[in-house]
Amino acid sequence: MLLIRCPYCEEERPELEFRNAGEAHIARPTNIAAESDDDFEKFFFIRANPKGVIYERWRHIHGCARFFNAVRDTVTDKFVMTYKAGEPKPSKLPGASK
């Protein structure tokens, strides 16, 4: 069981309190009704699924109940960092070489 740092609770908590909520930084278009079919497809259906660093949404559903963002390495399964919902994608990751 992983430990995940909740940016709202400001500490690591057991994975059982959390739930994954899919890829992060996919904003719902403000005028969604006017989106083209292609744009809607990109927004709704297409996801990255990288081998390596992934930006995800998690919810501390059995804790503070907040959604937040996490950077996780899908190869090592390690969390690189977590940050609050609405905050921008970090430009530099801790310990990253590039």
- Binding site residues, other proteins, CB under 8 A: 1-3, 8-11, 13-14, 16-17, 19, 21, 27-28, 31-33, 35, 37, 40, 44, 57, 59, 61-67, 77-78, 85-86
Nearer to other proteins, 59 or 71 (CB): 59
Nearest approach in angstroms of CB 92 to other proteins is 23
- For 88, the 3-state DSSP assignment is coil
Q: Which amino acid is at 59?
A: R
Nearer to other proteins, 66 or 93 (CB): 66
Nearest approach in angstroms of CB 42 to other proteins is 12
Annotate 50-81 with DSSP letters as a single string: -SSEEEEEEE-TTTT--EEEEEEETTT--EEE
Nearest approach in angstroms of CB 70 to other proteins is 14
- On whether the CB atoms of residues 71 and 82 are closer than 8 A, the answer is yes
Q: How far apart, in whole angstroms, are the C-alpha atoms of residue 4 and residue 47? A: 23
Q: Which amino acid is at 44?
A: F
Nearest approach in angstroms of CB 32 to other proteins is 5
Nearer to other proteins, 22 or 92 (CB): 22
Q: Which amino acid is at 21?
A: A
